[in-house]
Amino acid sequence: MIRRSWRSLLAGVALFGGAAAMNTASAADIYPTGGANARTQQLFANNGNQLTYQLASMSCSDAGGCCDSSCSAPVGCDLGCGEYGDGNYCGEGCSADDDGGEITFGGWIQMGYHNGITPLSTTRNEGLAFNDHPHRFNLHQGWLYAEKVADGSDGLDWGFRVDAMYGVDAAQTQSFGNAPGRFDFGGDFTRGAGYGFALPQVYGEVATGDLSVKIGHFYTLIGYEVVTAPDNFFYSHALTMFNSEPFTHTGALATYTASDDVTLYGGWTAGWDTGFDQLNNGSSFLGGFSTGIGENITFTYIATAGELGWRGNGYSHSIVIDTALTDDLNYVIQSDLVRTNDHDADPTTPGKDDDIGINQYLIYSLSEKVGLGTRVEWWKNEGRSQYAATFGVNVKPMDNLIVRPEIRHDWKLAAPDSTATTFGIDAILTF
């Protein structure tokens, strides 16, 4: 049940410049290894549905307080006042973690500066990396989402999710695996100076027991890093993430929790990076599994196979091993492999698009406010290797504000062999 009022609806529309949290069963959500990992891998993850609580506080107009007969309680909740921050909301007695079938809103604004162009881009706004808009402060992601979680714990339930964003990251967030002009790719969604709009997720979901199925346009499961800024430790992205992984799919994806330690994924998609379109008759498998190994290690294997659309016909996989070394130190190793024909003139030619990469992350939680991290990577495309090392700090001056300075060094870049060192800093405000 959504806590309703016209003022709430208008507030949600007006806050389009806001932000979002990740959906369930995306790459950001399938590497939990207990408390240590939660503290390090996502030390500064989204702080909850602050926007939802703000909207909810408007749903009762009685100046004397939010608790009156006009407030309605979700099924299974007692009518009453809830607390969030320094104020009250018409909270019906449910905790902040109880989705309870409600529609929630959330978001963030990410702004950043970098003094160089991140490879593989070589010119401004080339679109071969996320951070290729140097020497200016950019609005990277102004994001808003609306979501109802499908909770199958008490039987059949339904949900949905819609994400919308504006910023310089839009070109890499649109459905660029579509034919131009389809859905959110190009056309009126692309604005000037590298800015644009994107709709990275639009899907419905049903769940019952330990099984859920989503249908529509959704984030990939592939990889460790993700598009949404608060779910990454670093401001910049790995070469492997940008060049050897899809970002979104259109199709159907099932998630089954087989046990406390094993989750299975499987579904059909219309290829890589599609938004309700099917370039080159895209038709591919997306799936894999995630399993705990002991108390401190999670092993995840996710693959795509078939006609991948713009990327060609072939196979890819991502393997992630996430280890909590101590309560404060987390180590992640990831390897991606892509092998497709890239729609060569001879579609039977093997190995036309042949990528492999290994990324290693070491993230240390210095305190609840400060995290230190390093990422070292090797990426090989068509027989040519490139390398990068990134060193960063996360600082959390407030509960909903993250600041992420970093230094990145790339070497053995494409001909002529060269190096690049880039300083970057961004800030993310979640609400």
DSSP string, 155-223: S-EEEEEEEEEEETTHHHHS-TTSPTTSTTSSGGGB-STT-EEEEEEEEEEEEETTEEEEEEEEE---S
Residue linked to tokens 């102004």: 142
Domain membership of residue 78 (yes or no) is no
DSSP string, 288-301: EEEEEETTTEEEEE
Domain membership of residue 59 (yes or no) is no
pLDDT tens figures, 56-115 = 444 444 444 444 444 443 444 333 344 444 444 344 333 344 444 699 999 999 999 999
- Per the CB < 8 A criterion, the answer to whether 231 and 257 are in contact is no
What percentage of the chain carries pLDDT values higher than 70? 74
pLDDT tens figures, 100-151 = 469 999 999 999 999 998 888 878 877 778 888 899 999 999 999 999 999 9
Give 422's strand partners: 408
User: If 0-12 CB within 10 Å is exposed, 13-18 middle and 19+ buried, where does residue 122 land?
Assistant: middle
Domains held by the chain: number: 1
Give the per-residue pLDDT at 346: 56
Radius of gyration of the chain (CA): 22
Distance, in Å, from the CA atom of 223 to the CA atom of 337, rounded to the nearest integer, reads 11
Domain membership of residue 254 (yes or no) is yes
Q: Residue 131's domain is classified under what CATH number? A: 2.40.160.10
pTM: 0.79
Tokens of 24: 């369930």
Domain membership of residue 72 (yes or no) is no
User: If 0-12 CB within 10 Å is exposed, 13-18 middle and 19+ buried, where does residue 256 land?
Assistant: middle
Q: What is the rounded end-to-end Cα distance, in angstroms, of the chain?
A: 21
- Per the CB < 8 A criterion, the answer to whether 184 and 197 are in contact is yes
Distance, in Å, from the CA atom of 265 to the CA atom of 301, rounded to the nearest integer, reads 10
Distance, in Å, from the CA atom of 147 to the CA atom of 2, rounded to the nearest integer, reads 10
**Average pLDDT value for residue range 274-299:** 96
Domain membership of residue 409 (yes or no) is yes
Positive or negative, the CA dihedral 96, 99, 102, 107 is positive
Distance, in Å, from the CA atom of 28 to the CA atom of 423, rounded to the nearest integer, reads 25
Q: Is the pLDDT of residue 217 over 60?
A: yes
158: containing domain: 6-49+96-430
Give the per-residue pLDDT at 415: 54
pLDDT tens figures, 22-43 = 334 677 766 543 333 344 344 4
- Per the CB < 8 A criterion, the answer to whether 353 and 340 are in contact is yes
Please, what is the average pLDDT of the chain?
Answer: 81
Domain membership of residue 207 (yes or no) is yes
Helix (H) / strand (E) element for 427: namely strand 419-430
Give the per-residue pLDDT at 386: 92
Domain membership of residue 67 (yes or no) is no
